[in-house]
Homo-oligomer: A and B are copies of this chain.
Amino acid sequence: MASEAIKFLLGDDRIPRSWYNIAADLPEPPSPVLHPETRAPVTPADMAAIFPPSLIAQEMATEREIEIPEPVREVYALWRPTPLFRARFLERALDTPARIYYKYEGVSPTGSHKPNTAVAQAFFNHADGTRRLATETGAGQWGTSLAFAGGIFGVPVDVFMVRVSFDQKPYRRAAMEAYGARCVASPSEETAAGRQILSEDPQSTGSLGIAISEAVETAATREDTKYALGSVLNHVMLHQTVIGLETIEQLALADAVPDVIVGCTGGGSNFAGLVFPFLAETLRGGRRYRIIAAEPTACPTLTRGAYAYDFGDTAHLTPLLKMRTLGSTFVPTGIHAGGLRYHGMSPLVSQLLDLGLIEARAYDQTPCFAAGVTFARAEGIVPAPEANHAIRAVIDEALVCKQEGRARTILFNLCGHGHFDMQAYADYFAGKLEDRPYSEASLTRSLGGLPEVSAAE
């Protein structure tokens, strides 16, 4: 059965010993992060209010490899290395000559790739003396993952959860509480940002931007508390590279080299985690891969966003990042892939798009659910709605292979399972899902509100 293997596994001893820092290999250094008030490049001291020193160092690091501490590797061993699958059943269902592989991050305790960075962030915060972590969560995946990681290292976690999810998804809250975290509906009375919103609209259902403001304010104003973000930042991308590093080793076991690599993008972290280690080869003059970022038409950051400095949050408390952005006031239409509803994008991923090393495509949500159902019926795993965007791109590519009679090798990141998102599938089967792409008018408005940055841009 070896030649017909479905899974390619690695033992605990093959968990990577270092993360890969793509900043070391970029032709130009990443654009500096700017202070929200002075608009001058931030210093480590500026960031010290909200992040611990070791993560600030990683955010700005220029060395190619950053060692993964042994306690982090030990926690990783609870689910890593994750399996690489050859999607033989999907290939048959599509009757395609394509060879499809997927890295499956859904075997983590919380069912997605998020713990890869949550565990690292909790460890370094604990090591640097952080007594409490504050974060935000939309649909709940990130909050649950940080709750898990904080619990492991004994760092209490406060999660500001967007009010509408807090009310509609009590089981997400229960998962965070199961890990010992405190979950607060946002906007809350606990922060000035939250009180301000509530004074204007006591019934506010909240937003991710508001919840970020609340978490950042909590970290900035409490001596013992730091902030943790689940995507976008350089050190988050760094931690996720374990995905691609393992995949390279597993593809060698499978004797396969990908022609096309696909991931879905919200803030960019699962995509970066898979593709950065492959780009390491390209950036050092080696093989060039076709790399596709799949995003929703409701929030088309890479395909329609500006490449400009912008804030990460609504209240404009965060530093300014040079990134693909739809504008911090952009409100995505209501789609079920909550993890892809963010106005910005990882600066590193944005820079790679600018360099022409990756391409991006936007998909409506119903064709993505159709792809997810095809995948579930073939491979068994019901994917998270976010991952369905990657699967849509993969199936389209595989069908091109069929049309052209070419046996390309396609690799993608199945970043999580959909067990927490079955209501989305219920709505899909009930015909309640609509394709609601962004509106040009609203995008023009939000892009018009981009902050002015003179010199640095």
Contact = CB atoms under 8 A, between A and B. Distances in A.
A143 to B, nearest CB: 13
Interface string A171-185: 111110111100000
Contacts of A110: 380
Contact of A382 (B7, B178, B382, B426): B178
A379 B172 CA distance: 18
Nearest to A11: B9
B1 A5 contact: no
B6 A2 contact: no
B148 A380 contact: yes
A445 interface: no
A426 B5 contact: no
A89 interface: yes
A430 to B, nearest CB: 9
- 7 closest Cβ contacts across the A-B interface? A171-B422, A109-B380, A6-B77, A174-B426, A419-B419, A174-B425, A174-B422
Interface string A417-429: 1011011011011
Interface in A5-21: 5-7, 9, 11-13, 15
A382 B175 contact: yes
A152 B178 CA distance: 35
B426 A170 contact: yes
A127 interface: no
A379 B151 contact: no
Interface in A70-110: 73-75, 77-79, 85, 88-89, 107-110
A376 interface: yes
Contacts of A5: 11-13, 77
B175 A425 contact: yes
Nearest to A379: B78
Contacts of A380: 75, 78-79, 108-110, 115, 148, 152
A179 B376 contact: yes
Contacts of A151: 377
A347 interface: no
Contacts of A77: 1, 5-7
Contacts of A426: 170-171, 173-174, 177
A92 to B, nearest CB: 11
A151 B379 CA distance: 10
Contacts of A85: 78
A277 interface: no
Nearest to A419: B419
A29 B281 CA distance: 64
Interface string A371-394: 011001101111000000000000
A175 B428 CA distance: 12
B109 A107 contact: no
A267 interface: no
Given A178-B372, A180-B377, 9 more contacts: A1-B13, A7-B78, A78-B89, A78-B380, A107-B107, A109-B379, A109-B381, A170-B423, A178-B422
Interface string A1-45: 110111101011101000000000000000000000000000000
A377 B179 contact: yes
A2 B13 contact: yes
A230 interface: no
Interface in A156-175: 170-175
A109 B75 CA distance: 23
B12 A7 contact: yes
A429 B7 contact: no
Given A11-B7, A79-B380, A175-B382, A419 B180 contact: no
29 contacts: A1-B12, A1-B15, A1-B77, A6-B78, A9-B9, A9-B11, A78-B379, A79-B380, A108-B380, A109-B376, A109-B381, A115-B380, A151-B377, A152-B377, A170-B422, A170-B426, A171-B425, A174-B422, A174-B425, A175-B382, A175-B419, A175-B422, A177-B426, A177-B429, A178-B372, A178-B422, A178-B425, A179-B376, A419-B420
A311 B224 CA distance: 62
